[in-house]
Structure 1
Amino acid sequence: MNDSQHFKFTNAVLLVPLGAVLFIWAFYWMELANGINLNHLGVYPRTLLGLRGVVMSPFIHGSLEHLYNNTIPLAILLAALFYFYRKVAWRVLIIGVVLSGLLTWLIGRPSYHIGASGIIYVLASFIFFKGIYTRYYRLVALSLVVVFIYGSLLWYIFPVKEGISWEGHLSGFVTGLLLAIFVRATLPELKKYDWEREDYNEEEDEFLKQFDENGNFIETPVEESEESPDKVKINYVYKRGKKEGES
């Protein structure tokens, strides 16, 4: 299977990111339209009722700025996940939501933890570590792009700023790393040239036979080949014209 067969632009590459963004924006609009605050549906650590936030918290945002900051990274990383890892994308996404939420519930401070940033950390961590782990050139390049664009996110897995759930970020980061290690993703086979194969023999290489041991091109005289018996031979006969007076 080559690159074009493995990496395909399917409907999910567009529809899943678009659906996720529309849903979280619609959820926030519903809160504003009805004048309600659903922060209490977020993850509240080590309480039975707080477990409902494992599923609900990614859709709840405390402010328009919070929602806006999560929108673009979520869309880009979801598109990358479903394009480059389409066969395991749903598994990574579902397990990532549940596991990162449970880890936040275990290690978080007694407060409501909300927002899609935990999922963003799951996706960024998975895509980065999976690309490095596979050592496939296109996926390694994707990992480097993620680091270049979202490398600054790493600081926020530590308590460096008040008002953010660094526990949710750390939980997402760890979850992405675990998924990168344990979720197996099929990769296209790399094309190997003859000289890259283990059974390659230089002495039998027709191209190398044209050079001597010093790398100089060996000119071989062109031998005149005998005419093939099946070759059609055409003979032309020129007939002299008649002179005047001849009958």
Structure 2
Amino acid sequence: MLLADLTMPEFEAGLQRTRTIILPFGATEEHGRHLPLSTDTLMAETLAARAAERRRVFVAPAIPYGVCRSSSGHPGTISIRGLTLRALACDLLRDYYRQGLRRFILLSGHAGGTHNAFLLDAGEEMLDCLPEAEIAVVTELDLVRADAANLIETRGDSHAGEIETSRLLHSHPQLVKGTSEREFPNFPKGLLVRDKRSCWPGGVWGDPGKACAEKGRAIEAAVLEGLVNLIDRLETADQHLKR
């Protein structure tokens, strides 16, 4: 059930069928010369909607902003502070709980480590504050990491490369504008860099030239299975998972 499409009575009736909701988090971030700024958001909301076809869950409107450190110097990247993301996630969890939801999956299409650390921190805080809540915080890569090794040719591929380009060629082919060159960033280990684009000119982390729609279909299917399995685990969680 897509929450944004429901009327007030439909939402109320939906609570009689499920207390589980997926909250998709994305980003407005460069993805090379060929993918849209909304790539991470599109992947998360598409996956959540597909999961809602398989399991009885609510899907919240996607959050299209996140913490984007490495790409902050590239045109089009709009980043928010980690504390802002954390506060937003806490507020959403708190108010969805007030409305009757009890099981929450924070699904991030953006794989940035800092971004997801703040989502995890929000989940941990709300786990302590909301006594009946069960919370999962995952990225799409978390859901399919083992299977992806058999599907992906590019070692270390993660951003605007083989994986994400394949996903968009499958789900939103009209938004893919050609391709970009294979690239991996060259950030100095342990050092913070002001001019991040100098270490990562093209904004690609992988090889989009290896992408294809069929590969994207297979990757999406593998990630979807991981998400459906997570929903099942969350809804049958043992008491020791609760605080």
Identify the structure with bigger relative contact order (alpha carbons < 8 Å, sequence gap 6+). 2
With structure 1 as the length reference, what TM-score do the two structures score? 0.28
With structure 2 as the length reference, what TM-score do the two structures score? 0.29
